[in-house]
Structure 1
């Protein structure tokens, strides 16, 4: 990855996290949430009649042919073992938590899918933070319009190619949260992952209730 910009924030930014749904996340990518999508997605029978297959809930995109290097990316499954960032989370009133983020990143030519492993279906397991591109500022993230989402253990997200997002924020009392992660990578740092670093950072509020 490459840090392409370091920016100072002149005003306080507090982003209230909302529940993750396919509709709420649509401007940034796609959600896998079988309980919510099984009624609306196109389906078929599978697995010798013991499964319902929800079809094409998210695309897998590899645009590396458009990268300056011309080096094609391969599809890779990685595992991220994420530890809750306790250093950057402050307990407020009741169960209100505030996370301070300092980085937004994007994968310019690839979608990226995060599938959590090892959390209960209804448990609030991780926080996703995304920001739109600012067309008036070199397509850097428009952090003032960032949005945050609290995600359950039975939900996965696919970031659309080029979507600005924070590193994954695992939450909860367990020691770590594993993700299976699908992304296309060509080994060229500036084409695989670009970062913008903020000072003093932006805040995201969330709760477990």
Structure 2
């Protein structure tokens, strides 16, 4: 069985798949008469194809046991999809380049806990993978008409191991 190496999630490494949503390095501006610091435009929500609309969802996910066997990925061809953790527990991301599925483009990342991600439309990704404990997320997604879910089964399952450090 082939193994997939887990990398630390960085903006540069993840850029072919979407944006990392984090405050590290982000510039804030004072708002609300100087009582709050606002960090704006951290990711591009792209959900308008075929009359889509923005949908904000709450997700409570259970942890996955490691090593994890990956056998399928999904993509959303009509809209981006963002996952914003409500805690500081790391989670794992498995992605592949948009377009016709190519297993050679698969990559795995692990967050530092407070990082979120925004998958560009059409990016192949595994379902959410929580590590160690259940986690809660705000998910910004596309709602509306049109087929916005495609799944592919891998020819051969991949084993992903995470020991706590990438």
- The TM-score normalised by the length of structure 1 is 0.72
What is the alpha-carbon root mean square deviation over aligned residues? 1.8
Q: Which residue of 1 aligns with 2:29?
A: 44
Q: Distance in 1 between matches of 2:106 and 2:156?
A: 16
- SS of 1:78's equivalent in the other structure is strand
What is the CA distance between 1:199 and its match in structure 2?
Answer: 4.7
The aligned counterpart of 1:107 is: 76
Q: Which runs of 5+ in 1 are unaligned?
A: 1-11, 66-71, 90-97, 134-138
Contact kept? 2:22, 2:42, Cα under 8 Å: no
Q: Deviation at 1:48?
A: 2.7
Is the CA contact 2:85–2:135 (under 8 Å) kept in the aligned structure 1?
yes
TM-score (norm 2): 0.89
Mark the CA change 1:144 to 1:112 in structure 2 (over 3 Å): closer, same or farther.
same
Q: Work out which of the two has the higher radius of gyration on C-alpha atoms and give 1 or 2.
A: 1
What CA distance in whole angstroms lies between the structure 1 residues aligned with 2:48 and 2:124? 16
- Work out whether residues 13 and 144 of structure 1, in 8 Å CA contact, stay in contact via their aligned partners in 2: no
List gaps (5 residues or longer) in structure 2: none
| Aligned-residue offset at 1:149 | 0.7
Count of matched residue positions in the alignment of Structure 1 and Structure 2 = 165
C-alpha distance in 2 between matches for 1:183 and 1:164 = 15
2:165 counterpart of 1:186: no
> Which residue of 135, 152, 155 maps to 1:196?
152
Q: Is the 8 A contact 1:104 1:167 kept in 2?
A: yes
Name the CA distance, whole Å, in 1 between partners of 2:31 and 2:68: 41
Is the contact between residue 104 and residue 141 of structure 1 (CA under 8 Å) also seen in structure 2?
no
